[in-house]
Chains A and B, each alone.
Chain A
Amino acid sequence: MNVSSVKGSMSISSSTSTWKAGDTISDQFPAGLRVLVVDDDPTCLMILEKMLIACLYKVTKCNRAETALSKLRENKNGYDIVLSDVHMPDMDGFKLLEHIGLEMDLPVIMMSADDGKQVVMKGVTHGACDYLIKPVRIEALKNIWQHVVRKRKNEWKEFEQSGSVEEGDRQPKQSDDADYSSSANEGNWKGSKKRKDEEEETDERDDTSTLKKPRVVWSVELHQQFVAAVNQLGIDKAVPKKILELMNVPGLTRENVASHLQKYRLYLRRLSGVSQHQSNLSTIISAQDPTFGSLSSLSGLDLQTLAATGQLPAQSLARLQAAGLGRATAKSGIPITLVDQRNIFSFENPKLRFGEGQQQHMTNKQQVNLLHGIPTTMEPKQLVSLRHAAQSIGNMNMQVPPHGAQNSQNNPLLMQMGQQQQQSRGQILVDSTINHAPRLSSSMGQPILSNGIATNVSSRNGIPENIRAPGYSQTPSMLNFPVNHASELPGNSFALGSTPGVSILTSKGAFQEDVNSEIKGSGGLMPSYDVFNDLNQHKPQSWELQNVGMAFDTSQHSNSLQGNLDLTQSALGQQGFSSGQMNGHNRSAAVANKAMFSTGDVKELGSAQNVNQHLNNLLVDNTIRIKSERVCDTSPANIFPDHFGQDDLMSALLKQQESVASSENEFDFDGYSMNNIPV
């Protein structure tokens, strides 16, 4: 390497000036890329710095995350990309990643000696552009500029979509310099351009303001304004346009707001512990027209995140579902109910690990109660879409927004939803990860109970662990679900609407709509958990409720459900539900169950009773293992108090159970592990 020459060029480039597209950087790009590298190991840091310099980048190194953040904040447009280690003593690399995403919107690449799938997945879901395994080779560093370009390009696209004509004009101009020109436009690229040129360009750009799109730095104040606007509008109604209007910040574009909103949703989700699929969810949520692309990513995602975020706009859900259907496999994480993330998040790791086996993740039970105030209203449609998404998700953790704030906290399930707002949140992802080993983790995609329910749900808290839809061993404390709220439940198919707050019901509704196969048990089941957590009391029961509800829905779909999981889950949910009810918990959940089952879907579920029983058993064990086998064990009969057409439910559940049984037990939902839901 010719270090000296590199150094020479380095000195020339000015630091921090914004790179203007159109400058003659194309031939020099990616030289001059401003990289910030953060690693607590001095040896690695030294080597990385040297390698980056050898790539002709302009390097700044830090050995602490805090330092890095303050550098970034001081000089908002001073960097193009960040490389960060995952394991750092003062701050987790993923947290840093979130901060950077929210505040600065820079591409971040994670590095680690750890190449475990979980960690890498975590990186992806937290929004990292890339994940490098140490020892990092210089070849890998030579290509990092692609992430910057890509991001810029995407921003451009958003920008254009927001309808700026000018941008269009400019765009072509920029595009002549290789792709990155345009993308770099926004960024502050430091090419070897002369300062003067840059300045000139800046001026030009300022006029159009679109092309150049100088990176918007989301300062604390700006972010607070943003949050206030979002809260005012309601998380599910918070569309970039309106937020922009409310914020009334000159120079801020709808696009900026849109991308920030996406991140924010992810962030919220993460807070609530759902994070997994936030990115997916956010994408879904934020975009009115969900890009289903994200759906695929959802698969395997924790629905929780989706649910967590709470707000999965109905349309998005619908879309997702559609997309999800296509993607079917992917969806696992799809949002079950994006219900207000905030509210919901109390679940601990709401991540919906539906079947995907991610359930394990759920261990984070963080109670994120974060969201206060953001009413998560899960529109029924959302639920529906969630359902689809739920397919893969299996455990949709439906967060049942506990209206009362129940945050049952530990149960991820719950609810933090407290914030009642939820209007029939479709699915509350209840992450019942709680103690279950199997980690059903909140995958309980339980439908989020409508607001009314939410409160009830909170009572559930008891919901034991992850009621993963299928095979939740935990008897979802669905009972707690205030089934009463059913009314709140969004109209959509959720039976919930009618039912008592049971979110499950809602989910059911949602599921019913489309998810035939989508529902992958998870959807149905999940919610119960969260809700149940609140309910706590009957942990097992709540689950049941959920299951019931879920099963219910799924049962409908069971036919179509491919993922048996869904069914199972729903079945389980139902069972749980029913069992919950049976236990006399009068939990509204029970009521919900009724509502849910009444639809007769239960039949499909097969032995709902079984499910219940199973659930009960499961609950007892406290292991969420959704093992389908177990599910079947439950003796549904007694479980379901006559709520819904138990028979129907039972049958539905049973069916599910059976199918579920076939799948393996451990939660591993991977989508359909449990499912052999007979359709």
Chain B
Amino acid sequence: MESKHVNRQIAAMRQSFFDEEVLDEKFSQLEQLEGKDNPNFVEEVFTMYFKDSTAFLETIEEAMKTIPIDSIIVDNILHQLKGSSASVGANKVLKEVNKITRQVLGKGNLDGTKASILKLRKEYDSFKAKLEPYFQLKQANSVAQVK
């Protein structure tokens, strides 16, 4: 059936996220929190996460352009990103954030930090690009199934 096929596809996508370690077990815990009453809980969480994180990254990138760089802002944002990425299970993104945090805290090595932030941005964008279609597919599928 159409939906079965789509289901398989969704499952495969999901599995790949774990295999690639883009997501970690926190994600499964979130899934467990979903239920009949809030079937789209995970998607809602991610929507919120993407919205905030995109804004955070942009702020960091802006901050990196100023001279001197306002490390307090960068620090705060990194901290926020760390918390939220960890809470949603965004494994690779979290790793990048931790790297930068260590760098920034470690020696205030701005050049290194800049490079790391670019990497973070890349990782984040890729993450978003993977998850969003996943949710869309899920959503479409559930709608289709309802029908």
Contact = CB atoms under 8 A, between A and B. Distances in A.
A3 interface: yes
Contacts of A42: 48, 52
A7 B35 CA distance: 11
Contacts of B7: none
B37 interface: yes
Interface residues on B, range: 20 to 34
Contacts of A51: 33
Contacts of B119: none
Given A1-B32, A3-B37, A4-B36, A134 B83 contact: yes
Contacts of B82: 113, 134
B84 A3 contact: no
A112 B34 CA distance: 24
B111 interface: no
B87 A44 contact: yes
B79 interface: yes
Interface string B63-83: 000000000000010011011
Nearest to A8: B37
B86 interface: yes
A4 B41 CA distance: 13
Interface string A107-132: 00000111000000000000000000
B62 interface: no
B87 A54 contact: no
Contacts of B45: 43, 46-47
A248 to B, nearest CB: 47
A50 interface: yes
B44 interface: yes
Contacts of A113: 79, 82-83, 86
A87 B76 contact: yes
Contact of B33 (A1, A7, A114): A1
B52 A43 contact: yes
B30 A47 contact: yes
A426 B118 CA distance: 57
Given A43-B49, A46-B44, A134 B33 contact: no
A70 interface: no
Given A113-B83, A114-B79, A137-B29, A3 B36 contact: yes
Interface string A86-99: 01000000000000
A51 B26 CA distance: 12
Contact of A87 (B26, B33, B41, B79): B79
B56 to A, nearest CB: 10
A138 B76 CA distance: 25
A666 B34 CA distance: 53
Contacts, number: 67
A41 B86 CA distance: 12
Contacts of B145: none
Contacts of B37: 3-4, 7
Nearest to A3: B35
A113 B86 CA distance: 8
A163 interface: no
Contacts of A137: 29
A362 B84 CA distance: 31
A51 B41 CA distance: 11
Nearest to B88: A43
Contact of A134 (B30, B38, B87): B87
A44 B89 CA distance: 11
Interface in A14-60: 41-44, 46-47, 50-51, 54
Contact of B83 (A41, A54, A138): A41
Interface in B1-52: 26, 29-30, 32-38, 41, 44-45, 48-49, 52
Contacts of A54: 33
Given A4-B37, A113-B79, A136 B32 contact: no
Contacts of B41: 50
Interface of B: 26, 29-30, 32-38, 41, 44-45, 48-49, 52, 76, 79-80, 82-84, 86-89
Closest 4 interchain pairs by CB? A3-B35, A113-B83, A135-B86, A113-B82
12 contacts: A1-B32, A3-B35, A3-B37, A3-B38, A4-B35, A43-B45, A44-B83, A44-B87, A47-B88, A113-B86, A136-B87, A138-B29
Interface of A: 1-4, 7, 41-44, 46-47, 50-51, 54, 85, 87, 112-114, 134-138
Given A42-B52, A112-B83, 13 more contacts: A1-B32, A2-B35, A41-B52, A42-B48, A43-B49, A43-B52, A44-B84, A46-B44, A46-B45, A47-B30, A50-B33, A50-B38, A113-B86
